[in-house]
Amino acid sequence: MAKRSTTNAAYTTEFHHEFRAETGKLLVRRFLWFTGVVVAFGMLSMLGGIVLAMSSSIQVRDGSDDPAELLSNPLTWVFSAIWLAAFSSALLYVWRKKPPESVVLRISFWVVTFDGLLNILMQVTGVPGSMGAFSFFVTHLLACLFMPWSAWQALRPMIVVLGVNALATLLIRNPVWTGAMGIEEWARLIASPLLAVPGTLWCWTRHSKRVKDFRYKFVNSKYSEMRRELVDARRIHESLFPETIENGPVRFAFEYEPMRQIGGDFLFSHCCRGRDGEPDGPLNVVLLDVTGHGIPAALTVNRLHGELERIFAEMPDVGPGEVLRLLNRYVHLTLSTHSIYVTGMCLRVDCARKEIEYASGGHPPAFLRAVDGTIEELQSTSFVLGACPDEAFDPAPRTLEFGPGDTILAYTDGAIEARNDAGKMFRIDGIRRMVASADGRSPTLWPRIFKDEVIEFRGGPPEDDTLLLVLHHSVAGVSRRRDAGRPDAGVGATT
């Protein structure tokens, strides 16, 4: 549970990190647009005010009405200049210095908050036309429309400004102890929090949609990335599988169909080679089926491959029984604690002795089809690997005759557990029927033919990993060896 929580936490952390990074870049762009629009509007307003002031002064000289008090009050121009300087400075700083996104977020908070505090100060000092927090509402709404704030980030400036506005109203403009607050003033003060609703609601709606859209994009990108990685992983995973053997006394072929991109079925072979690089001596084959599917099973296969490499590197002549015992010991000590177990079959083909030795740990029975068409099952000889400790495990290997023309078919449970549309399983009897009806077919083609029959039977995607393996004692290989031993082998010999 703890490991799963750690994985989920890592996923959540990565998501939030990427979302913050994208939001930060968006914030910088939107902040520059917001401050640019505000500064442009402020400059146009001041320019228009200057024109109106000049026009009003002309009208006064002409004896017309007095100019608007708003334009004639010096404080109006002072506060307007301070306001414009604040937004211009923020715009230039972010544009030139390119500070981190976290700094831009703080600047956006303070520049909007400063606008509200300045409006309250103008109202307290009696600047004509100032409306305090209600003037701030326009700036706040504009900021919410531009910047990718969350609901809380949109609410913070409003909390500060409305708090200061309440104090200024109750303590300075209309001291509460004097009883100067009328019903209208109280109603305006009580209703002032509603100014935060439009901008905050807009930010909450937009932010929620951004999170939803980004989550979809994030999951989709991670899925595509995982698919690409799985393709690479499958290529690496399948490179661990041995090459088929199409010539020589022993023919070796297999077909593998994982349930997903990669799986837990595995095949390993080992054969000593002579000085000419050709196989020399018995052929060892190990067929394994790890519990589970997909990436966890494939990672387990990777570990088992390393253990098999070690075993055969240290003991090239090791027999199937000892290989199975060592694998059981390894699985019991390292994998069973994670509830991972393995079924396995180890085979050793010795063409010189015309025999095959095998040991099977809980694996489905293989089939030995003799050259005369008789079929024998190679039943399991021991427990599932990892189910018991080394001292209680007895591999009980068996030795059978394996003459020219004989063929062994081994497989994993994905073949026998395949189900058709009616829910009927292929079963071991289905494998036996295929082996019995294989007359006239080249044994090295059995895996491909049998796999196609299993696929046709189930009529849908696999529900488990499937691996089919054939070992064939070639008659042609025996004939060539006999021909090579004749004095006239190099003259007129045919194969």
Residue 234, in any domain of the structure: no
pLDDT at 358: 97
Residue 399, in any domain of the structure: yes
Residue 225, in any domain of the structure: no
Residue 44, in any domain of the structure: yes
Residue 435 and residue 384 share a domain: yes
Burial of 199-236, coded b for 16+ CB within 10 Å and e otherwise, reads bbebbbebbeebeeeeeeebeeeeeeeeeeebeebbee
Residue 445 and residue 390 share a domain: yes
Q: What is the DSSP letter of 245?
A: B
415: containing domain:
240-485
Residue 230, in any domain of the structure: no
Which of 220, 250, 280 marks a domain boundary? 220
pTM over 0.85: no
Of 85, 40, 471, the C-alpha closest to 245 is: 471
Tokens of 221: 């990108």
Handedness of CA 98, 101, 106, 109 (dihedral sign): positive
Residue 213 and residue 248 share a domain: no
Residue 279 and residue 155 share a domain: no
pLDDT at 277: 59
Residue 203 and residue 258 share a domain: no
Terminal-to-terminal C-alpha distance of the chain: 63
Residue 473 and residue 329 share a domain: yes
**To which H or E segment does residue 210 belong?**
helix 197-239
Look at the chain and report how many structural domains it folds into.
Answer: 2
Which of 186, 220, 254 marks a domain boundary? 220
pLDDT at 74: 79
pLDDT at 118: 92
Residue with tokens 């989709």: 220
Residue 278, in any domain of the structure: yes
Cβ neighbour number for residue 494 with a 10 Å cutoff: 5
Cβ neighbour number for residue 440 with a 10 Å cutoff: 5
Residue 364 and residue 309 share a domain: yes
Residue 118 and residue 11 share a domain: yes
Residue 311 and residue 246 share a domain: yes
- The CATH number given to whatever domain includes residue 451 is 3.60.40.10
pLDDT at 479: 46
Burial of 349-379, coded b for 16+ CB within 10 Å and e otherwise, reads bebeeeebbbbbbbbbbbbbbeeeeeeeebe
Per-residue pLDDT of the chain (495 residues; tens, 9 = 90+): 444 455 555 567 888 888 888 999 999 999 999 999 999 998 888 887 777 766 655 454 444 444 455 555 778 888 889 999 999 999 999 999 999 999 999 999 999 999 999 988 888 887 777 777 888 899 999 999 999 999 999 999 999 999 998 888 888 777 766 766 777 778 888 888 999 999 999 999 999 999 999 999 988 888 888 888 888 888 888 888 999 988 888 999 999 988 877 888 999 999 876 556 566 789 999 999 999 888 888 889 999 999 999 999 999 999 999 999 999 999 999 999 999 999 999 999 999 899 999 999 999 999 999 999 999 999 999 999 999 999 999 999 999 999 999 999 999 999 999 989 888 999 999 999 999 998 888 999 999 999 999 999 987 888 888 999 999 998 865 444 444 444 443 333 332
SS3 label, residue 293: coil
Residue 245 and residue 212 share a domain: no
Residue 58, in any domain of the structure: yes
Q: Can you tell me the distance from the alpha carbon of 366 to that of 88, in angstroms, rounded to the nearest whole number?
A: 82
Residue 252 and residue 212 share a domain: no
Residue 226, in any domain of the structure: no
Residue 246 and residue 214 share a domain: no
